[in-house]
Structure 1
Amino acid sequence: MELTPEVAGFSLIILGILLLIGKWIRVFTPLFQNFFIPSSMIAGLLGLLIGPEVLGRLGINLFDSGGLFPEVMVEIWSTLPGLLINVIFASLFLGMTLPSVKKMWEISGPQITFAHFISWGMYVVGITLALLVLTPFFGMNPAAGALLEISFVGGHGTAAGLAGTFEGVGFEEGRHLAVGLATIGVLSVVFLGMGLINWGARKGKTAILENPGEISEEKKRGIIAEENQEDEPAGRKTTRSEFIETLTVHLGYIGVAIAVGYVLLEGIILIEEALWIDQIEIFTHLPLFPLAMIGAVIVQLFLSKFVKYNVVDRGVVNRIQGLALDLLIASAIATLSLAVIGEHFIPFLLMAVTAVAWNLFAFLYIAPKIMTDHWFERAIGDLGQAMGMSAAGLLLIKLADPNTKSPAKEGFSYKQLLLDIFVGGGFVTAASVPLIIAVGAVPSLIVAAIIMTGWLLLGLLYFGKKKKDEA
C-alpha cells in the first residue's frame, strides 16, 4: 500500500476509532476507572497489541507489516507526535491572561521552586546513572542521562516530539526508550498517587475531603450525565458561524503561533551557523515545539495589546489541545518499538526505578521543608506532573483538595508559566540531548547539579525560613 492522501486520512480515522474503543473499554473496566488510566493510553496499548510489534510477531499478518495495520499506516502514526506536539505547545498560553511575574511568584513560588528542583534533579540522577552504569556497562549513549527528565517531566508529548532530535544526534533508540519511560511514569503516578493520598489521609498529612473510593461512578467512567452537560462544552463562541466558525479562528491562531516559532527557530539556527557551528551544534537539533510556545506568548501579547475584539477563548483552545494530546499519546504508544526496549531492558528498568525513587524522595522529604503551607496538596500536583503529565497533577490536586480550599490549584497553573519555558518540554529539555553530546556528560552534570542545588537552597533558606517564621 502506497502513501496517498486517502491513506493518510484513513490512518487518522482508524486512530480515532482506536480512541473510541479505548474510551468504551475504560467505561466498562473497573480497573482502568479506579486508577484513572487515560483512554488515549488504552487506545495506544490496543494499537500496539494488534499491530506489528505484538500480533505481527506472533505470525498474524493481515498486511505487509504484520498485525492488523499496513506498514504505511504505522509510519504515518509514527510521524504524528512530532507534528502534534507543536499544536500542544502553541496552545499553552493562547487565550490566557498573563499575570505579572510578581503575582505568579507570590502565589506559586514554593511550587515553582519544588518543581524546578525535581526537574533539574532528574538530570543529576539521570546523567550520574549514565556515567556510572549505562555507558560503561551497557554501552549506551551518554545522552541517555537526559531521558529521565524528558520522559517523566516532559511526558509522552515531549518524548515523542524529540524523535527528530534523537535521530539527528545518532541516538535513534532514544525515542522508543523515552516513550516507554513516559508510559511507565503515567502508570506509576496513578498507582502511587492514590496510595499517597490514602496515606496522607490516614497520617493526617492533609485534611482530605474526598477519598478515591467515594468518587462517583460517573466521574470514574469519565462520562457526564445528560442533566449535567453544558450547552457549549467546547468553550464560548466568539465569532458568527455564518462568516467563520469559532473553531476555525482558533486553529488559525495556533497556526500563527507555530509559524512565529518556526521563524524564531530558523533565526537562531542562522545565528548558530554564522557564529559557532564549527565548535558546537545545539540549535540545529532543537525541535520546533519550545519555540511554538514562545510564539504563542508573542501572539497572545499582540492580541491583548493591539486587537480590540477578544476572539480567542481559552475553553476552545483547551479542547483543541486535548484532542492533539489524545491523538499524540495514542499514536506514540501504538508505534512503540518493543524490540528496542527489549534490547535495552535492564537499562530501561534502571532508569524507570531511578526516576520513580527520585520523585518519591523529593515528595516525602523535600516538599514538606519547602512548601510554606498546604505542602501535601501543593506537592502532590507537582509529583503528578513530574511522573506523567499536567493532567495527572491536576487530578491528584482535585482528589486531595476537591473544594479548592488551598492555593494548590491556582499555584499549579501559575507555576506552568515559569516551568514549561525551561524544563518539562521547554528549551532546556529540548536542547538537553544535543547539549550533552556537544559539551560532554560531566560538564552537563556539573551545571545541572549547581542549578538543582540553587533551587534547593532557595526553597530551604527562603520558603523554609518563611514557613518557620509564620509558625
Structure 2
Amino acid sequence: MPALFGLALIGAFCLLGMAIRRWIPAFRTNMVPAFVIAGFLGTIAVNVGLDGLLPAVDSGLFTTITAQMFTLSFISIGLTVAPPEAAGGGQRSGIVRGAWAMGMTWTLVFALQALLGVGLVAIAGPAVGMDPIYGLMLPFAQGPGQAVTFAGIFEGQGWQDATAVGLAFAAAGFAAAFLVGVSLVRWGMRRGLATHSVPISDSVAKGFYRDGEETDSMGRETSYAGNIDTLTVHVALMGIAYVLAHVLAWLLSFIPGFFGDTISGMMFMNGLLAAYFVRWVMRRAGIEHLVDRRLQTKITGFTTDYVVVASFMAVQLAVVVQWLVPIILVIVLATVLTAGATIWIGQRYGTDHDFERTLGMFGTLTGTTPTGLALVRIVGPRARTTTMAEMGLMNLPEMLYLPARLTISAAFAGTYGLGAAVGILAALTAGYAVLMLVTRSVGRRTWSIRGDVEKHAPVAAD
C-alpha cells in the first residue's frame, strides 16, 4: 500500500509540475522539465513531514522506488528494438565514430568528476565531519539510479549517509543540466552554432500540445486487443526480464569479495542483460516483432521520469544541511569543470553538428542520457543530424568506465585505501585521455566559444 501511495504522489507532483511550467514564464523560458519541478516540490513535501500524514511514505520508500524503477528503465532499454540502420555505409561509419568519441568523453569526465569530488571534500569536508571518501559519490554522470544502487551497497559496508549524499549530487546535476544547458542552447542558437535548429514553438515552451495539433504516434498495436492488449505484452516481458535479473544477481552473489557484492548489486545492469536475453529468445522464436519500438521507448520515458522525481523525494535534507558547505562547493566547481571539459572536447569532434553533440554530452554528464537527448531535441527536433543515433550507441564504449567504478567500490569496501583509489583513478583518467588521442576522437576545432563556426569544419552526411 505505501508503494502505491508513493507512485500516486509522484504522479500528482508531475501534473503540478506541468501546470507550473505552463503558467510561470521563468520555467518556460529555461525549458525546465515538469519532472524536475516535481522533484523539487516532492523533496520539500517529504522533508517537511509528509511521512507524518501517510505512514511509511518517507525518503526510504522513495529510495526503494528509485532503485526499482531504475532497474525497470534499463530492462525497457534492453527490450527496445534497434532502429533501422542508415542506408549509407559512410553514414553508419560516422555514427560509430561519433558514438565512440562521445562514449569516451563520458568515461573520461566521469573519472574527472570523481577526482574533483574527493579532492574538494578532502579540503572542505573535515571541518564539518564529512569523510573525503564521500567525494567519490560526486559523478553527476552516474545519475540518480546509479547513485541509489551503489549507495545501497556502500551503506551495507558501513557508510550510512551514502544515499543522501549521492542523491543530493544527482539532484544538483539535473538542476545544472537544464539551468546551464538551456542557457547554452539559447546562446548557441543566437550565434548560429546549432546548424539545424528551428524556432522553439509555443507548445514546446509550455510543455504540452494543443488539441488537434499534429504530433507523432506513440506506437502500433502488435497484438489483438480482444486477446491481450499490446501494452500488457510489453509490461509482461519486462516482468519476465525483472525475475531473470534477480536470478542473475543471485548467481553473481557467489563471487567472493567486494567484486561479487558490487556486480550482484548492479541490478540495472543485470536487468539490461536479462532484457537482452529475452529479446534474443524472441528473435530466435521469430516473435521479436511483438515488441514495438516506439511504445517501448515511451515506457522507458515513463520509468525515467519517475526515477528522477523519486530520487529527488529520497533526498534527506537533514544530512545535506549538515554538510552544506562542502556539498555546495563540490556542486558548483563540478558544474564548471563539466561544462569546461565538455565544451573543450565538443569543439573537436570533427563534424558540422559538434555543437549538438556538446549539448548532448553536457546533459548526459550532469543528468542521464534522456537529459542530454532533451537538450539536443531543443535545437534539432527534426533529427536532421546523427547525434541522437550516436547517443544511443555511446552506451557501449561507456562500459570502459567499469574499472573506475570498481575502483570507487573497492575504496568504499576498504579493499583499497583512499590514496590508492585516487592514484588508480588518476591513472585511468590519463589512460582514457590517451585512448581518445590514439583513436583520433578529437582533432581541430569546428566551432568557437566566440560563436563563429570555424571555416575548416567538415560537413556531415545527411
TM-score range, shorter chain: 0.7 to 0.9
- Mean CA deviation greater in 183-192 or 156-165: 156-165
Between the aligned partners of 2:294 and 2:381, the Cα distance in structure 1 is: 21
Q: Which residue of 2 aligns with 1:153?
A: 141
Could you say what secondary structure the match of 2:394 adopts? helix
Inter-partner Cα distance in structure 2 for 1:41 and 1:366: 28
Q: Cα distance, 1:163 vs. partner?
A: 4.5
Identity among equivalent positions (%) equals: 24
Equivalent in 399, 411, 418 of residue 390 of structure 2: 411
Cα distance between partner residues in 1 of 2:10 and 2:189: 40
Correspondence for 2:17 among 19, 22, 36: 22
Distance 1:166 1:284 in 2: 13
Deviations 1:404-434 (A, max 9, x none): 3433222112113432x455xx796488345
Instruction: Name 2:36's counterpart in structure 1.
Output: 41
Aligned equivalent of 1:140, options 124, 127, 130: 130
Instruction: Trace 1:193-208 onto structure 2 (pairs within 5 A).
Output: 193-203=181-191, 205-207=193-195
Structure 1 position 195, deviation (Å): 2.4
Provide the secondary structure at the position in 2 that maps to 1:36: coil
In 2, distance between residues paired with 1:14 and 1:280?
37
Structure 2 residue 118 is matched with structure 1 residue 127: yes
Checking the alignment, whether the CA contact within 8 Å between 2:246 and 2:270 is kept in structure 1 is yes
Partner Cα separation in structure 1 for residue 141 and residue 185 of structure 2: 20
Q: Give unmatched runs, 5+ long, in structure 1.
A: 57-62
Residue number in structure 2 paired with 1:251: 235
| Change beyond 3 A, Cα 1:450–1:297 | farther
Is 1:367–2:346 an aligned residue pair?
Answer: yes
Q: Distance in 1 between matches of 2:276 and 2:433?
A: 29
Structure 2 gaps of 5+ residues are 86-91, 446-455
The whole-number CA distance in structure 2 between the counterparts of 1:42 and 1:138 is 30
**Quick one: structure 1 residues 26 and 195, their matched pair in 2 at CA, closer, same or farther if it must change by over 3 Å?**
closer
* Paired residues of 1:206 and 1:400 also in contact (CA < 8 A): yes
Q: Alpha-carbon deviation of 1:390? A: 1.8
**Structure 2 CA distance, aligned partners of 1:153 and 1:106?**
21
User: Cα offset for 1:314?
Assistant: 1.9
Question: 1:229, CA displacement in angstroms?
Answer: 5.3
Instruction: Judge conservation of contact 1:373–1:467 (CA < 8 Å) in 2.
Output: no
User: Would you say 1:172 and 2:160 are equivalent positions?
Assistant: yes
The separation in 2 between residues aligned to 1:102 and 1:134, in whole angstroms, is: 46
Quote how far apart the aligned CAs of 1:173 are: 1.6
Q: Distance in 1 between matches of 2:27 and 2:247?
A: 43
Maintained 8 Å contact 1:281/1:434 = no
Report if aligned partners of 1:157, 1:325 keep a CA contact under 8 Å in 2: no
Q: What residue in structure 1 maps to residue 424 of structure 2?
A: 447
Q: How does 1:62-461 map to 2 (within 5 A)?
A: 65-66=51-52, 69-74=53-58, 75-97=60-82, 105-130=96-121, 132-133=122-123, 136-149=126-139, 152-203=140-191, 205-207=193-195, 209-210=197-198, 214-228=199-213, 233-272=217-256, 277=257, 282-283=261-262, 286-371=265-350, 373-419=352-398, 421=399, 423=401, 429=405, 432-437=408-413, 438-461=415-438
Alpha-carbon distance in 1 for matches of 2:11, 2:384 = 38
- Tell whether the 8 Å contact from 2:73 to 2:304 is kept in structure 1 after alignment: yes
- Residue 334 of structure 2 aligns to a residue whose secondary structure is helix
d(CA) in 1 for partners of 2:277, 2:172:
35
The answer to whether the Cα contact below 8 Å between 1:23 and 1:39 also exists between their aligned partners in 2 is: yes
8 A contact 1:285–1:434 mirrored in 2: no
Partner residue, 2:449: none
Tell me the number of residue pairs that the alignment of Structure 1 and Structure 2 aligns. Answer: 440
Q: Distance in 2 between matches of 1:371 and 1:440?
A: 40
How far the C-alpha of 1:87 sits from its partner, in A, is 0.4
Q: Give, as a single letter, the amino acid of the residue that structure 2 aligns with 1:85.
A: F
**1:145-179: per-residue Cα shift (whole Å, max 9, x none)?**
32222xx1122222234442232122222212222
Task: Quote the offset at 1:88 in angstroms.
Answer: 0.9
CA gap of 1:363–1:248, structure 2 versus 1, over 3 A, is same
Q: Which digits, 9 at most, give the CA deviation of each residue in 1:10-39, with x for residues without a partner?
A: 443333223222222222222222222222
Structure 1 distance, partners of 2:442, 2:360, is 23
Residues 22-57 of structure 1: per-residue CA shift (max 9 Å, x gap)? 222222222222222222222232233334x23x4x
Shift of residue 128 of structure 1? 3.2
Tell me the SS of whatever aligns to 1:391: helix
> CA–CA distance in 1 between the matches of 2:232 and 2:55?
32
Structure 1 residues 289 and 301, CA gap change in structure 2 (3 angstroms): same
CA contact (8 A) 1:282 1:431 kept: no
How far is the alpha carbon of 1:266 from its aligned partner? 1.7
Residues 215-253 of structure 1 deviation map (CA, whole Å, 9 limit, x = unaligned): 1121112212332356x9432211112222211211121
Stretches of 4+ aligned residues off by more than 6 angstroms: 98-103, 468-471
TM-score under structure 1 length normalisation: 0.83
Distance 1:329 1:237 in 2: 29
Question: Residue deviations 1:67-95, cap 9 Å, x none?
Answer: xx323122533421121111011111212
Query: Normalized against structure 2, the TM-score is what?
Result: 0.84
* Root mean square deviation of aligned Cα: 3.1
